[in-house]
Structure 1
Amino acid sequence: MSIAVHPDKQMTGVGSTLLGWVIQFVRKAGAHKLEVGTGTFGYQLAFYQRQGFRVTSIDRDFFITNYDERVFEDGIQLLDMLRLTFDYQENRV
């Protein structure tokens, strides 16, 4: 599943509010951890880290293997995907 905020609404707190709701919803459903995947650089990585997610693994060549067209961010081709995990025991939310 993918989530995104329209560029016109980025940096307004909408994404943080949305992700906060998801974190709480999944916690209430009984999960111990929540995992997301993102590119290896860029604002998305810092966004998830600010919310308490930590890098737990790397899927090498993910964007090459799973996308028909090359994916670029800031003029750089994305190759690998970082998996980040929110651990409810560590974050105590």
Structure 2
Amino acid sequence: MVGVCVVQPLRAGVYELMSIAVPPSHQKFGYGTALLRWIIDFFRKSGARQIEVGTGTFGYQLAFYQRHGFRVTGIDRDFFIRNYPEPIFEDGIQLFDMLRLTLRYPGSGT
């Protein structure tokens, strides 16, 4: 196994990608991209209207989701301060806010 994901329903036709992970030894080989494409396709075929995801306000994760059609739809201010006991840093910068991104399927009416 080289990748895992967790997706949960939020409400009718709307799902949240809670986690997608590939171990560092298998990153940069396209496994994460293949898994995200599978998730997007699976839920589109299942009749979903949209998929949502939360990520930090900068870094490769944000670009990863944007490359696949996710767009910023909200900001959860101080999310990483409120929900984690220790500060989280990426590239030497502390994460404070979470960006909420949404991928809406064409013709879904939303």
TM-score normalised to structure 2 length: 0.77
Which structure has the higher relative contact order (CA within 8 Å, separation 6+)? 1
Segment drifting more, 24-33 vs 76-85: 24-33
- Contiguous gaps of at least 5 residues in structure 1: none
Segment drifting more, 54-63 vs 1-10: 1-10
Alignment counterpart, residue 5 of structure 1, candidates 14, 22, 27: 22
Q: Which has the higher strand share?
A: 2
The residue aligned with 1:77 is 94
The residue aligned with 2:47 is 30
The CA RMSD over aligned residues, in Å, is 1.2
Deviation beyond 4 Å, 4+ runs, structure 1 = none
- Contiguous gaps of at least 5 residues in structure 2: 1-17
Segment drifting more, 28-37 vs 78-87: 28-37
The whole-number CA distance in structure 2 between the counterparts of 1:64 and 1:35 is: 21
The residue aligned with 1:39 is 56
Shift of 1:3: 1.7
Residues 47-71 of structure 1: CA distance to partner in whole angstroms, max 9, x if unpaired? Answer: 0010111111110000000111111
Shift of 1:29: 2.2
